[in-house]
Amino acid sequence: MLEGVQMSGETRLVCLLGNPTGHSLSPAMHNLSFRLLGLDAVYLCFDVANENLGAIVAAFKAMERWDGFNVTMPCKQAIIAHLDELDEAARLIGAVNVVKKVDGRALGFSTDGVGFMQNLRKHGVAVEGARMVVLGPGGAGSAIIAQAALDGVAHLDIFARAGGASFAKARELAARVAARTGCSIELHELPDGGGEVGGESDAGSAGFDELASCIARADILVNATPVGMGEGCADTPVARELIKPGMVVADAIYHPRETQLIRDARSLGCTVVPGLGMLIEQAAAGELIWYGAQMPVDVIEAQLF
């Protein structure tokens, strides 16, 4: 439903490409923002298949007033073959979530990490020169890792589940980001304790000791795993006793608004950064790319969430 959206013969188009897209919160955020900003633009969702991306990008380049689009799974990597240029973060992680048309060329960007880092700054967190622990170098985690390094984080400890292609990909990502940015990066095996890491089953293990040591030295702890997702979920990626009182603890999860990790960290006097701000700020970064417009993020959060 495009409630409150008015369209004309000059209405601009931006959209979301992926599959499925029907659950996305992006139309609500962007269409409200466009209305508040007085932009004659509309945001729609389209379910697409990777094999059709070439034809879609060709149509995008040819169609006037179609200014850009977001990309979600499973298209974030596949879209790259059809783009003309990538920003630095997108090149580092090999994925794109924002595309803009400039002079008939399709330019790709990664704004997930930008949104995360902006959310930290909005909570008063200084990132330059900081030490950061990141749990889970997957889709969200890889974007956070790359942007943190680009933004001046001094040292990154990345924890990934051992074995298989995912750990190998994490090693490649760490090497690529370190070589490009000069950031000191160490990759570690995440203790296999199921949901919670650092509980009694992990105590005394090498992985537990390594994680505990890294968190004790860190300024910022980031959860980029799905552990803790879902209303009423009491799972946490890190046991409460491993969290250093007073440190910064951030979560990429936005449902629920406060995960168990965030609740535990708050009880220890930590600066907490829930994931909803990342969702809104990455959307705001897209509008800045497409239209040079500053999304009214506080109003969007107040009215939609």
Active-site residues, by number, are 76
Backbone angles phi, psi at 138, to 5 degrees: -80, -145
Q: How many other C-beta atoms lie within 10 A of the C-beta of residue 37?
A: 14
Say which amino acid occupies 299: V
The one-character DSSP state at 188 is E
- Rounded Cα distance between 140 and 146, Å, is 10
- Comparing CA positions, the residue from 291, 279, 238, 278 lying closest to residue 260 is 238
- Rounded Cα distance between 130 and 85, Å, is 31
In three-state secondary structure terms, 200 is coil
Q: Which residue has the tokens 């330019």?
A: 107
- Comparing CA positions, the residue from 132, 136, 215 lying closest to residue 169 is 136
Instruction: Report whether 224 contacts 141 (CB < 8 A).
Output: yes
The one-character DSSP state at 191 is P
- Comparing CA positions, the residue from 43, 36, 38 lying closest to residue 2 is 43
Going through 224-273 in order, the beta strands assigned E by DSSP cover 248-251, 271-273
Instruction: Report whether 301 contacts 279 (CB < 8 A).
Output: no
